[in-house]
Amino acid sequence: MAKKNLIGSWAFLIGVILAVIAGLFTSSLSANLATALSAILIIIGLIVGLFNVTGKEVGPFLISGLALIIASAFGNAVIVRTLPALGDVLMALLTVFIPATIIVAIKNVFTLAKN
């Protein structure tokens, strides 16, 4: 396994685990800690987008990422009313996936423009 792919894989796993933990405990975190954790999740998302998604994975990743983002945006209001902690987990996961999806989309546009 290439070193770049290994970094991206670990970043993805760490990002998902941190997002779930952060989402479950968001209400008990101080504002400064929550802000720092969000910044860490965004950086992890950027790393995932830069190193983890390549070649044939781009299309499925973008479709899955967009589906997750759209479903989360529209479904979050319903989820928060019934299970607030799940809504917080979903928002933390989006904090990882949105930057990753943006980076992969930009890389894809450059690849398409180059060809």
The tens digit of pLDDT for each residue in 58-75 reads 999 999 989 988 888 787
* 17/58 Cα distance (integer angstroms): 23
Report the domain count for the chain. Answer: 1
pLDDT level of residue 98 (50, 70, 90 thresholds): very high
| Better-predicted residue by pLDDT, 84 or 100 | 100
Q: What is the pLDDT of residue 3?
A: 62
Does pLDDT of 5 surpass 80? no
For residue 1, is pLDDT > 80?
A: no
Nearest to 49 by CA among 92, 18, 95: 95
Q: What is the pLDDT of residue 30?
A: 82
CA dihedral 64, 33, 39, 54 (to 10 degrees): -40
pLDDT digits (tens, 9 = 90+) for 17-59: 999 998 888 778 788 888 899 999 999 999 999 988 888 889 9
Amino acid identity at 56: K
Residue ranges making up the domain that contains 32: 3-114
